[in-house]
Amino acid sequence: YETYGSGTWYATTMTRQANGSFTGALTRDARGQTLAGAYKAPSTLVELATAEKAWVFQLHDVQCSAMVADLLAHTGITKAGFGLGDDRKRIVAKLGVEPGAVLELNTIFRARGYRKDMGVKGAVAVLFNKRFLKSKKAATSNWANPQLTEAQLVYAANDAYAAFRVFQALELTPS
pLDDT digits (tens, 9 = 90+) for 63-100: 888 888 898 898 888 878 887 777 788 788 888 999 88
Q: Are 15 and 171 in contact (CB under 8 A)?
A: no
pLDDT at 21 over 70: no
Is it the case that residue 15 has pLDDT exceeding 70? no
Q: What amino acid is encoded at 42 in this protein? A: P
Total Cβ atoms within 10 A of residue 146: 9
Distance CA 135, CA 141 (A): 10
Give SS3 for 132. coil
CB 141 within 8 A of CB 150: no
Max avg pLDDT among 19-33, 57-71, 79-93, 154-168: 154-168
**50 touches 56 (CB < 8 A):** no
The rounded mean pLDDT for the chain is 74
pTM (2 d.p.): 0.72
